């Protein structure tokens, strides 16, 4: 076994002491601490004892991790740069002229020794150089010592209680101080790293995390956006012990929600605050306080302390600029190679953040004393972005908010070009940049930039860009969402579900989007508009797909009406619709939103069924005399009469409304809401099992009198709900087997039962069906109008049926479609509070 030099941070020198414990777990290999120490020592020996400035293009791969540790172990100052930003790396290399460059070439890590000794004067304490400005390639670097790295790793390991059994996923880049702190603190305690460069939005990441028995996840605010999109709250992660967040402010309501999720599922949620200048961490919020104080950054890390420097604009004695002291404070900045010879030039860190200390001793950030902003975990200097734009001929002022970089530009540039340039300069995704084109840039009377006016632009929508007819831009999609969902204030961050979309509007929206964008992702209804916008892909003319749930709704309503006339006899359509209704209830009402928002969405969905149903049945009953007050109140199945020739017409609507009210009341119970979030598949499957008690009439209720339809058929709705939550093959098999075992024998009509089981199997196993544009449009109209077709066909078919059954079918469908269209037109003319969008069964 090679011996590491007696230099560098103690946690690096101690790697071999952890022996055969797992150190690194990748998708392809596992490396023990002893093996890792050998590889580190081998490269350290190659780098030699003569101190040189080493530039490493960092990445979340084993070779780069070994190079990082080996450089520290050998005592060489390391300039760690982003491995995926060639321009930033080249600029830093030009600015600092490293002696050794380590970078990947052709799949292998190349160690390019440019000179045998350093041309620079390197301070003995200098160990690591990190950028403060994300990926811009700024020559301003943070100078860190081995003592800084060791102290911060010890502090983090202490308050997180990192154990040698922990296994932390590298969800953040190695060159980013937060990602690096995860590595350092876990190696300090002999824990394992689940080393990957996969995103948390990638299914393969979760396969690796589960296989490695991962215990720890770290994320910046954008990571939590991705976690929400992939259904993190419904994942089964039995070994997860803690989730940490830093890299920018997370909205307090999300902090509270994730803290509650952790309490429910048995893991701890740490909100943390830091800067590169403090070797990553300065404060943390104890997990037990995250729900009650989600707006706070917490208390100083072990060994650190805060003070508040008074500010003229913040006269409160409990408020001021947050100043941090501790052994993890940097040596100072470097802006040129000569600065590498400097020793400590700062003793405390002026963070630039304005903070308040609460009576409970917790600190809270309330503003910024300087112009920096932090987005996606990157500390962005807007003025440096301005300089980059100016170099490319664009005059602009930039400011940052909690969510985006706002750019005001002039001179007639293409806004998309400005967006791309600004995003590249800041190292941000383009969706995090908003561009406003102005006739002239706002200035104060002194001639200085008016950044307050630029910041005000963040509250106004940007100008409407031109849209390429071959695809769909964000603005075009915003207009489409606003039109179909009757929402005047649609933003690029909204999704179909967040805007209150339901099972009806889902039909029309999915078909319209599919025409614009091509095949849609399965989770498009929860995906923000900005992430859906893209050019339409090339594909064979006329080729489309149709969502199975939409196809089944369209087929079922035709089958129901055609069998009632009868043009043909294919029974089972209404019972299949119950399963589809349960499927859609899970997708559109049981989102990851807070319980109160879930209940509001469910209430809106129920009202869109109840109000038009009550209105039509009352009108039809007045004209024909076929219906009683119990029909109008949707209570005929409960109160009777049960023996009339027409009173049973609306049994399906009565059953659906009763079931929706029951499950909504159930979710309103906080304990049940928590159970549903923790066991999204187990709860509906359990409810389906309970529903079998009445499906098989185990209590003998039928002998006592009439049993309401909702009680008898509830299990079908619950199975549909479970189908929507079946994400794994075993779960799909279980819910399919439940249908195969329980539907047969319910009617005593094999063909009817086979029709329901076949439709249910399609719903579970085949999310989309091959289709054609015309068929998609027809299915969308039928499915979107299904409630109105069901309501009105009872009055249409007696009038037209005696002349022609086939014509009666066509007329029933046409009248229902016309009624749905009329309601849509009427509601768009009503004031917003009074709007009622057509609903569907």
How far is 603 from 577, CA to CA, in rounded Å?
20
Segments in 518-645 forming alpha helices (H): 529-532, 548-564, 573-588, 595-624, 629-632, 636-639
pLDDT tens readout for residues 400-453: 877 788 999 986 667 878 888 898 888 777 777 888 888 888 876 545 677 778
What pLDDT does 417 receive?
Answer: 83
pLDDT in the model for residue 511: 67
pLDDT at 482 over 70: yes
pLDDT, average across residues 197-209: 91
pLDDT of amino acid 412: 65
CA distance 252 to 291: 9
Mean pLDDT of the chain: 86
Q: Using DSSP bridges, classify how beta strands 22-25 and 192-194 pair: parallel, antiparallel or unpaired.
A: parallel
Q: Where are the domains of the chain?
A: 10-367, 381-442, 471-539, 548-833
Please tell me the predicted confidence (pLDDT) of residue 465.
Answer: 42
Which tens digit of pLDDT belongs to each residue from 577-597?
999 999 989 888 887 677 887
The reply to whether CATH 1.20.1420.20 applies to domain 10-367 is no
137 pLDDT exceeds 60?
no
Which pTM value belongs to this model? 0.54
308's tokens: 């508040």
Q: Does domain 471-539 have CATH number 3.40.50.300?
A: no
Residue 718 has pLDDT above 90, yes or no: yes
Per CATH, which fold does 381-442 belong to? GMP Synthetase; Chain A, domain 3 (3.30.300)
Q: Which two tokens stand for residue 636?
A: 């005929």
**Rounded to whole angstroms, how far apart are CA atoms 742 and 746?**
7
Average pLDDT over residues 506-523: 69
Instruction: Provide CB contacts within 8 A for 765, sequence distance 6+.
Output: 732, 736
Q: Give the pLDDT band of residue 504 (cuts 50, 70, 90).
A: low
Tell me the C-alpha to C-alpha distance, in Å, between residue 214 and each of 262, 710, 806, 840. Answer: 15, 44, 61, 43
The order of strands in the sheet holding 395-400 is 395-400, 405-410, 433-437
Rounded Cα distance between 450 and 172, Å, is 35
Residue 446, pLDDT score: 47
Higher-confidence position of 463 and 500: 500
- Is the Cβ–Cβ distance between 798 and 766 less than 8 Å? no
CA distances in angstroms from 224 to 214, 248, 428, 522, 831, listed in the order given: 17, 12, 16, 19, 36
111, two tokens:
């160690």
Nearest Cα neighbor of 152 from 42, 15, 300, 367 is 300
Q: What is the pLDDT of residues 622-632, one digit of tens each?
A: 998 889 999 99
638: phi then psi, degrees, rounded to nearest 5: -95, -45
Same topology for domains 381-442 and 471-539, yes or no? no
For the stretch 78-134, pLDDT in tens is: 999 988 777 778 888 999 999 999 998 877 889 999 999 999 999 999 999 998 754
**Secondary-structure percent of the chain, ordered helix, strand, coil, rounded to 5:** 50, 15, 35
Which are the contacts of 474, defined by CB distance < 8 A and separation ≥ 6? 492, 529, 530, 533
At residue 651, the 3 state secondary structure works out as helix
What pLDDT score was predicted for residue 53?
Answer: 97
pLDDT in tens, 653-690: 999 999 999 999 999 999 998 899 889 899 999 999 99
What does the pLDDT look like over 317-363, one tens digit per residue? 788 899 999 999 999 999 999 999 999 999 999 998 889 999 999 99
Residue 621: both structure tokens together: 């009953």
């Amino acid at each position: 076994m090679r011996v590491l030099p007696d230099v560098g941070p103690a946690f690096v020198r101690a790697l071999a002491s952890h022996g055969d414990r797992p150190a690194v777990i990748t998708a392809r290999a596992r490396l023990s601490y002893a093996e890792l120490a050998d590889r580190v020592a081998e490269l350290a020996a190659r780098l030699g004892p003569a101190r040189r400035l080493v530039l490493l293009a960092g990445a979340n791969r084993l070779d780069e991790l070994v190079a990082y540790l080996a450089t520290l172990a050998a005592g060489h100052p390391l300039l760690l740069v982003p491995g995926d930003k060639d321009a930033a790396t080249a600029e830093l290399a030009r600015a600092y002229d490293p002696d050794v460059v380590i970078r990947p070439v052709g799949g292998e890590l190349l160690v390019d020794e440019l000179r045998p000794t350093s041309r620079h004067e390197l301070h003995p304490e200098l160990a690591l150089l990190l950028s403060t400005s994300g990926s811009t390639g700024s020559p301003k670097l943070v100078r860190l010592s081995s003592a800084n790295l060791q102290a911060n790793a010890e502090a983090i390991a202490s308050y997180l209680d990192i154990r040698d059994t922990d296994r932390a996923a590298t969800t953040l880049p190695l060159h980013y101080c937060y990602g690096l702190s995860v590595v350092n603190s876990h190696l300090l305690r002999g824990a394992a790293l689940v080393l990957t460069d996969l995103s948390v939005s990638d299914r393969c990441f979760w396969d690796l995390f589960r296989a490695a028995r991962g215990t720890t996840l770290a994320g910046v605010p954008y990571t939590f956006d991705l976690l929400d999109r992939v259904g993190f709250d419904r994942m089964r992660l039995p070994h997860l012990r803690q989730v940490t967040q830093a890299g920018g402010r997370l909205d307090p309501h999300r902090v509270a929600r994730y803290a509650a999720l952790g309490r429910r599922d048995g893991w701890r949620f740490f909100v943390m605050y830091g800067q590169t200048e403090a070797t990553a961490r300065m404060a943390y919020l104890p997990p037990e306080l995250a729900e009650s104080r989600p707006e706070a950054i917490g208390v100083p890390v072990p060994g650190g302390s805060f003070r508040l420097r008074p500010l003229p604009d913040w006269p409160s004695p409990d408020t001021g600029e947050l100043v941090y002291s501790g052994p993890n404070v940097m040596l100072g900045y470097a802006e040129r190679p000569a600065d590498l010879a400097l020793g400590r030039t700062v003793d405390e860190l002026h963070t630039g953040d304005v903070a308040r200390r609460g009576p409970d001793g917790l600190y809270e950030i309330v503003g910024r004393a300087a112009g920096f902003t932090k987005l996606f975990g990157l500390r962005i200097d807007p003025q440096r972005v301005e300089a980059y734009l100016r170099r490319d001929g664009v005059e602009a002022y930039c400011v940052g908010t909690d969510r985006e970089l706002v750019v005001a530009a002039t001179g007639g540039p293409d806004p998309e070009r400005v967006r791309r340039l600004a995003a590249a300069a800041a190292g941000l995704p383009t969706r995090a940049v908003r561009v406003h084109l102005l006739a002239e840039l706002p200035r104060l009377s002194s001639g200085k930039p008016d950044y307050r006016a630029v910041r005000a632009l963040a509250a106004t929508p940007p100008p409407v860009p031109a849209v390429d007819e071959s695809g769909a831009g964000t603005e075009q999609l915003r207009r489409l969402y606003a039109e179909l969902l009757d929402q005047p204030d649609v933003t690029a961050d909204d999704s179909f579900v967040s805007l209150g979309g339901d099972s009806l509007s889902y039909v029309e929206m999915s078909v319209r989007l599919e025409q614009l964008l091509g095949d849609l992702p399965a989770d498009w209804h929860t995906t923000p508009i900005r992430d859906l916008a893209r050019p339409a892909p090339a594909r064979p003319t006329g080729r489309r797909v149709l969502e199975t749930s939409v196809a089944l709704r369209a087929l079922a309503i035709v089958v129901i009406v055609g069998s009632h006339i009868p043009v043909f006899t294919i029974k089972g359509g209404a019972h299949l619709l119950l399963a589809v209704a349960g499927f859609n209830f899970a997708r559109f009402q049981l989102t990851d939103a807070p319980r109160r928002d879930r209940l509001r969405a469910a209430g809106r969905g129920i009202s869109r069924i109840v109000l038009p149903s009550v209105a039509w049945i009352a009108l039809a009953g007045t004209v024909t005399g076929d219906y009683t007050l119990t029909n109008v109140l949707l209570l005929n199945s409960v109160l009777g009469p049960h023996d009339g020739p027409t009173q049973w017409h609306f049994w399906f609507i009565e059953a659906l409304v009763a079931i929706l009210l029951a499950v909504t009341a159930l979710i309103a119970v906080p304990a049940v809401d928590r159970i549903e979030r923790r066991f999204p598949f187990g709860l509906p499957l359990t409810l389906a099992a309970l529903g079998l008690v009445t499906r098989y009439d185990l209590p003998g209720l039928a002998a006592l009198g009439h049993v309401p339809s909702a009680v008898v058929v509830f299990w079908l709705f619950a199975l549909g709900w479970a189908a929507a939550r079946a994400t794994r093959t075993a779960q799909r098999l279980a819910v399919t087997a439940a249908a195969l075992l329980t539907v047969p024998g319910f009617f005593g009509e094999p063909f009817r039962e086979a029709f329901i089981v076949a439709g249910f199997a399609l719903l579970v196993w085949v999310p989309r069906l091959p289709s054609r544009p015309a068929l998609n449009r027809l299915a969308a109209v039928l499915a979107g109008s299904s409630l109105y077709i069901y309501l009105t066909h009872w009055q249409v078919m007696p009038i037209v049926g005696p002349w022609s059954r086939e014509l009666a079918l066509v007329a029933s469908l046409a009248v229902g479609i016309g009624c749905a269209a009329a309601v849509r037109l009427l509601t768009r003319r009503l004031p917003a509070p009074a709007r009622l969008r057509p609903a569907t069964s």
